[in-house]
Amino acid sequence: MPDPRTLTQDIVREHMEHYPTDTASHYEPGAELEIRYFTVREWIPDDVTVLEIGCNSGGLGKRLMRDRRVTMYGVEPNRALACKAYCANYAHVWIGMIEDVAQRISPMDVVLGMNPLEYCIDLDVTMQAMLVPLKPGGVFINEGVHKAGRWGSWYTHTDLTHSWDARTSREFFEQYIDITDVLEVGIYDDSRDWVYVRGVKR
């Protein structure tokens, strides 16, 4: 992991291009993190185009295409993982950071971010880029790490990542979208590991 004291957007971009973790197993039936899949699935209707920002190897989209009638597209800075997502039947995967490729993407019905704001330098710049490919009135969904959860305490010790709770999520996202839902979710009944926000592009 880069030293957060010397971070620039170029350093983050270089780090993400070589990020090795394949998260496909997180969304498999029976996996500990499968709660992430069910949360997102309930918010996505049938017959829409979905752009997943940070699509990794396509594990989430693969299940969404099976359970929902959706067409998946992705943005992924790691070339090897992007190729896996394309092989998982994503219609297209743009290789790079969303800030670099947003202007090349056709309008989408849904933009889905699975933690992309954790890995950015400027939240506002990245958020604005995420909304560029979203149709007016389209649905924006973001997953963020909960600051009180098992991973949140680690994220507070580095400038590379950002963590949230329901209040800070509302304060940030209401600047950009009309929020319809904010949901705190945990792997266990008494835990809060992620914060999900759903809203509509103005």
CB 82 within 8 A of CB 95: yes
Encoded amino acid at 184, one letter: E
Residues 1-56: tens digit of each pLDDT: 434 334 344 544 554 555 556 666 666 665 556 777 888 899 999 999 999 999 98
The 10s digit of each residue's pLDDT in 134-190 is: 999 999 999 887 666 555 454 444 444 567 778 889 999 999 999 999 988 776 666
Going edge to edge, which strands form the sheet with 194-201? 92-95, 70-76, 48-53, 108-114, 134-145, 194-201, 177-185
Task: Locate the domains of the chain by residue range.
Answer: 4-201
Into which CATH architecture does domain 4-201 fall?
Answer: 3-Layer(aba) Sandwich (3.40)
pTM across the whole model:
0.82
